[in-house]
A and B are shown apart, each in its own frame.
Chain A
Amino acid sequence: MKRSKSILVLFLCVVVFVVGCTSNKSAEPSSSATTKPTETTEVKPVETEGTEGTKEAPMLAALVSDGKLPPVEERMPVPGDIMIEPVVEEIGQYGGDWKMAWNGPSDKWGIGMITEEALFRFTKEGDKVEPNVAKGFEVNEDSTVFTIHLREGMKWSDGMPFTADDVLFYWEHMLTKETFGKKIYDAYYSVDPVSGEKVLADIKKVDDYTFTVTHKYPSVQFLERVAIDNKWFFAPAHFHKTILPELVGEEKTLEITKQWGFEDPKQFLVETGYYYWLYPQIPTLRPWVAKTDPNSDQFILERNPFYWKTDEQGQQLPYIDRIVQTKIQDPSQRLLGTLSGDYNFGQFGANDFTVLKENEKKGDFRVILWTQPTWSSEGIQLNQTTQDPNLRKLFQDIRFREALSIGVNREEVSDIVTNGLADPIQASVPEGVIGYQEGWAQQWAEFNPDRANQLLDEIGLTQRDRNNFRLNADGSELTLTIYEADPNKNTFLELLKKYFEDLGLKTDIKLVEGGALFDLKYANEVPIHTENISVANVAFRPDTLVPLRIITPWFGHYGLYSQSGGTDGVKPEGDVAKILELWNQIKASKSTDEINRLSDEIYKIHRNNQWVIGYAGPTPAITVASNSMRNIPSDLVSVDEYRGLGHAHPAQFFIK
Chain B
Amino acid sequence: MLQYSIKRILMAIPVVMFISFIVFYIIQLPPGDYVSSYSAQMTAAGEVMTQADMDQMRANLGLDRPVYEQYAIWIKKIVFYGDFGYSFNYNKPVMDVVKQYMGLTLVVSLVTMAFQYIVAIPIGIYTAVKQYSAGDYFFSGISFLGMATPNFLLAIILMYLSYTWFGDPLLGLFSSEYVNAPWSMAKMMDLLKHLVIPVIVIGLASTADLIRVMRGQMLDELNKPNVITARSKGLSETKILFKYPTRAALNPIVSTFGWSLSSIFTGSTITAIVLNLPIQGPVMYKALLGQDMYLAGSWLLFMSLLTVLGTLISDILLAWLDPKIRTEFRGN
Contacts and interface: CB of A to CB of B under 8 A. Distances in A.
B45 A563 contact: no
Interface stretch (A30-38, A306-314, A584-592): A30-38
Interface of B is mostly: helix
Given A10-B126, A330-B276, A24 B186 contact: no
B238 A8 contact: yes
B123 interface: yes
Given A5-B238, A518-B39, A261 B93 contact: yes
B119 A20 contact: yes
Interface stretch (A50-58, A290-298, A349-357, A454-462): A290-298
Nearest to B237: A5
B236 A5 contact: yes
B290 interface: yes
A336 B36 contact: no
A518 B57 contact: no
A514 interface: yes
B92 A31 contact: no
Contacts of B209: none
Contacts of B38: 106, 515
A264 B61 contact: yes
Contacts of A494: none
Interface string B269-284: 0001110101000100
Contacts of A298: 176, 179-180
Contacts of A515: 31-34, 36-40, 290-291
B30 to A, nearest CB: 7
Given A16-B122, A20-B118, A326-B179, A514 B41 contact: yes
Contact of A183 (B42, B52, B196): B52
Interface stretch (A71-79, A242-250, A463-471, A543-551): A543-551
B91 interface: yes
B31 A519 contact: yes
Contacts of A1: 237
B53 A183 contact: yes
B22 interface: no
A107 B45 contact: yes
A556 to B, nearest CB: 14
Interface string B238-249: 100100000000
A549 B282 contact: no
A173 B319 CA distance: 68
Contacts of A266: 56, 60
A330 B275 CA distance: 9
Contacts of B129: 6, 9-10
A289 B184 CA distance: 27
Contacts of B31: 512, 515-516, 519-520
Given A107-B45, A297-B179, A6 B61 contact: no
Interface in A326-345: 326-330, 333, 336-337, 339-342
B329 interface: no
Interface in A496-531: 512-520, 522
Contacts of B238: 5, 8-9
A297 B278 contact: yes
Contact of A182 (B53, B176, B179, B196): B53
Contacts of B171: 328, 333, 336-337, 342
Interface string B247-289: 0000000000000000000000000111010100010000001
Contact of B32 (A24, A28, A295, A519): A519
Given A1-B237, A99-B176, A329 B37 contact: no
A270 B236 CA distance: 74
A330 B195 CA distance: 19
B196 A35 contact: no
B28 interface: no
Contacts of A12: 122
Chain B interface category by residue count? 35 or more
A501 B40 CA distance: 30
A518 B92 contact: no
B5 interface: no
B51 A336 contact: no
B328 interface: no
Contacts of B291: 515
A20 B119 CA distance: 7
B126 A340 contact: no
Contact of A518 (B36, B96, B272): B36
Given A8-B238, A108-B45, A35 B57 contact: no
Nearest to B52: A183
B273 A336 contact: no
Contact of A327 (B37, B43, B45, B278): B278
Interface in A83-137: 99, 105-110
B299 interface: no
A549 B175 contact: no
B32 A516 contact: yes
Interface stretch (B6-14, B161-169, B307-315): B161-169
A296 B40 contact: no
Given A24-B196, A99-B176, A329 B45 contact: no
Contact of A549 (B51, B96, B193): B51
A181 B40 contact: no
Contacts of A276: none
Contact of A31 (B115, B169, B190): B190
Contacts of A10: 126, 129-130, 135
Interface string A174-189: 0000000111000000
A518 B276 contact: no
Given A300-B180, A330-B273, A563 B135 contact: no
B193 A27 contact: yes
B197 to A, nearest CB: 10
A559 to B, nearest CB: 10
Nearest to A178: B56
A479 interface: no
B192 interface: yes
A9 B241 contact: yes
Given A327-B278, A329-B282, A330-B274, A549 B186 contact: no
B15 interface: no
A522 B53 CA distance: 14
Interface string A257-288: 00001111011001100000000000000000
B138 interface: no
Contacts of B192: 24, 27, 31
Contact of A28 (B44, B159, B169, B196): B196
10 contacts: A1-B237, A24-B195, A35-B175, A35-B177, A38-B177, A270-B60, A271-B91, A324-B176, A485-B40, A515-B31
Give the top 7 A-B pairs by smallest Cβ distance, nearest first.
Answer: A515-B37, A5-B237, A31-B189, A640-B46, A13-B122, A27-B192, A515-B32
Given A264-B61, A339-B163, 20 more contacts: A5-B237, A6-B237, A20-B115, A27-B192, A261-B91, A261-B92, A263-B86, A264-B86, A266-B56, A267-B91, A297-B174, A336-B169, A342-B171, A485-B40, A513-B37, A515-B34, A515-B40, A516-B30, A519-B31, A543-B48
Interface of A: 1-2, 5-6, 8-10, 12-13, 16-17, 20, 24-25, 27-28, 30-32, 34-35, 38-39, 42, 99, 105-110, 181-183, 229, 261-264, 266-267, 270-271, 292, 295-298, 300, 324, 326-330, 333, 336-337, 339-342, 485, 512-520, 522, 543, 549-551, 563, 640, 644
